[in-house]
Amino acid sequence: MLIGDVARHSGVSTRMLRHYDALGLVRPTGRTVGGYREYSAEDVRRIFHVEGLRSLGLSLKQVGRALEDPAFTPSALVGDLIRWTEDRLERERELLERLRAIDASAPTDWQDVLRVVELMQGLGSTSAARRQQAVLSRPDGAPAPAELLAGAVLAEADPIVAGALRWALARSGGDGLATLAAGMRSDDADVRRRAVLTIAELPEDPEVTGVLADALDDPDPAVRGQAALALGRRGVTEAVPTLVGMVVEGSNDVEAAEVLGALAREAGCADRVMTALVDELAAHAGHTAVRIRLTQALVELSGRAARDVLRRLTRDDDRAVALVASAFVGLLDERSAEGRSDPDR
């Protein structure tokens, strides 16, 4: 088979076939009377072997060794190829993210592009101060791409820099929710915590509420708690069980009790909150600290029902609980008396 026929059947150009011949990779075993290269069936098979190994990323020198050296084992080389390919893919992924960030900023000129590149370089600094400066020194009227900031928040371990990033994200005019929602699916609990804190500061929106509601099932209690607090402030009653659980566990219990008090003022939610707190009081008989926290949470609820439960607790078998309830009832009675004596209060 002549070189032109081999090129047509193999897809390898005649120029490359001549190069293979010059390197000694694939030398045609025959020549025609006129001196033209003539390839045998075995030569063509070797061409396909060369192309197959090249497709794995081997250099032509490595291909030659693989085909000629019996002692050349593939395992070590394949391992190296895997590492080189992973490094290359990582570099290309970073490049793709940079290009997407620039595209999301809708640059009108190359100066806009350079500003985004400068921000990315600053956010990639190993210095927390440098990262914070990159966020805070943005010129007026030049908001950073929301998705870029959202991605930086997820990766930022320094709480001060993370706060600056959340502030910049609020100014960006976008929400970065897609990136933050992806962060909520991370296997790293720290990433999910940073994501939920950032999402909690986004404006009210059905999609935002949906992502926060999904976080109520997160295995990490800190993620569940932050989601519940954010949802409770938005009047979402599905957060009640998690908020009550936070009071029981003593995790941000004061903040959780305040949110429960606000939710109890929502139509139809007061009974749900009251029932949940009373049930936990009964379920934790003998656990003084838990019952004191639940008693304190009842103070946040307005209305006669909460007051009646507090009065019953003043006669509780647990003296510590009874004393706390008595103090709160006295304080509430005093406030009520002051309110009646001052009509403008």
**64-92 per-position pLDDT tens digit:** 888 887 777 777 778 888 888 888 888 88
Q: What is the pLDDT of residue 339?
A: 56
At residue 345 the predicted structure's pLDDT band, cuts being 50, 70 and 90, is very low
Q: What is the pLDDT of residue 170?
A: 80
306/300 Cα distance (integer angstroms)? 9
Q: What is the pLDDT of residue 58?
A: 86
Nearest to 26 by CA among 34, 55, 37: 37
Query: At residue 109, does pLDDT exceed 70?
Result: yes
Q: What is the pLDDT of residue 342?
A: 55
Nearest to 263 by CA among 295, 225, 302, 294: 302
Element holding 54 (H helix, E strand):
helix 41-55
Q: What is the pLDDT of residue 199?
A: 94
- 261 φ/ψ angles, rounded to the nearest 5 degrees: -65, -40
**180-206 per-position pLDDT tens digit:** 999 999 999 999 999 999 999 988 889
Query: At residue 10, does pLDDT exceed 70?
Result: yes
**Predicted TM-score (pTM) above 0.75:** no
The fold for domain 3-72 equals Multidrug-efflux Transporter Regulator; Chain: A; Domain 2 (1.10.1660)
Q: Torsion angle, CA of 123/126/127/133, rounded to 10 degrees?
A: -10
Q: What is the pLDDT of residue 70?
A: 75
**Domain edges within the chain:** 3-72, 235-345
C-beta of residue 186 within 8 angstroms of C-beta of residue 192? yes
Q: Torsion angle, CA of 208/210/213/218, rounded to 10 degrees?
A: -90
Q: What is the pLDDT of residue 312?
A: 95
What DSSP string describes 161-193? HHHHHHHHHHHSSS--HHHHHHHTT-S-HHHHH
**159-187 per-position pLDDT tens digit:** 999 999 998 888 776 678 999 999 999 99
C-beta of residue 313 within 8 angstroms of C-beta of residue 343? no
Ranges 6-20, 38-52, 247-261, most confident: 247-261
**Nearest 5°: CA angle at 186, between 183 and 191?**
60
C-beta of residue 159 within 8 angstroms of C-beta of residue 128? no
Q: What is the pLDDT of residue 142?
A: 61
C-beta of residue 153 within 8 angstroms of C-beta of residue 162? yes
At residue 146 the predicted structure's pLDDT band, cuts being 50, 70 and 90, is confident
- The overall average pLDDT reported for the chain is 89
Q: Is 250 left (phi over 0), alpha (psi -120 to 50) or beta?
A: left
